[in-house]
Amino acid sequence: MTDAARPLIAVLDYGSGNVHSAVKALTEAGGDVRLTRDRGLIADAAGLLVPGVGSFSAVMAALRESRGDELIERRLAGGRPVMGICVGMQIMFEQGVERGVDTEGLGEWPGTVTELSAPVLPHMGWNTVTPGEGSVLFDGLEDERFYFVHSYAAQEWTLDVMKPFRSPVVTWSEHGVPFLAAVENGPLTATQFHPEKSGAAGISLLRNWIRSLPTSG
């Protein structure tokens, strides 16, 4: 793929860790990738990736301090694609509860992120997923494993979408209890696992997302 054919992907630089592996993976998947906090570039990019490492409260504090929350909300309000990874998925929900601390999320989806009830935490390593019907992300990847590192997750999906709007595609995994592994909801896509740490399957998943982006950028 030539540089001219590569869609511009902005990776939101708000102080989260593990961003360079995400940049590398997105580049390998076919994006023209920029790690940035430039508001104009983020607004104009074909896709915005929101990474997230650490606690729900720390990620939300960093987002608000950098006004990254505004950038995410403005893109989604305009129907422009955003993808969250790990805690970058969790903060899309209304609330996160970690060690007795309640933190308000972005509220794009209803629900609360809570600790998994499992014999071993964190949930660390490779696991299977059960993609929802019509998934774009998991097209051709239904039997693959993906890499997770987390102790918290959204464990219920309660968003009701009325016709003519398309119902979200919800993908599940399990560690002690079922939890949301991915959601595809119009312009907003997110994964609880780390595609950038998931080898060839993760690169293919990111490629599927990039191919779904508007060609006009």
Per-residue pLDDT of the chain (217 residues; tens, 9 = 90+): 555 589 999 999 998 776 999 999 999 999 999 999 999 999 999 999 999 999 999 999 999 999 999 999 999 999 999 999 999 999 999 999 999 899 999 999 999 999 999 999 999 999 999 999 999 999 999 999 999 999 999 999 999 887 777 899 999 999 999 999 999 999 999 999 999 999 999 999 999 999 999 875 4
Non-local (6+) Cβ contacts of 125 within 8 A are 147, 148
Q: Known catalytic residue: 142?
A: no
216, part of any domain: no
217, part of any domain: no
* List 70, 73, 86, 174, catalytic entry: 86
| The pLDDT value given to residue 131 | 98
* List 108, 144, 184, 196, catalytic entry: 196
Domain that holds residue 115: 3-211
Q: Known catalytic residue: 115?
A: no
Number of helices (H) and strands (E), helices first, in the chain? Answer: 6, 13
139, part of any domain: yes
38, part of any domain: yes
131, part of any domain: yes
The first and second tokens of residue 9, run together, are 């992907």
Residue 180, CB-side half-sphere exposure with 13 Å CA sphere: 29
Global pTM value: 0.95
Residue 160, CB-side half-sphere exposure with 13 Å CA sphere: 1
98, part of any domain: yes
188, part of any domain: yes
Give the domain CATH number at 134.
3.40.50.880
| Tally of domains within the chain | 1
Q: Known catalytic residue: 86?
A: yes
Amino acid making up residue 126: W
150, part of any domain: yes
The first and second tokens of residue 193, run together, are 């696992």
Could you say which DSSP state residue 130 is in? B
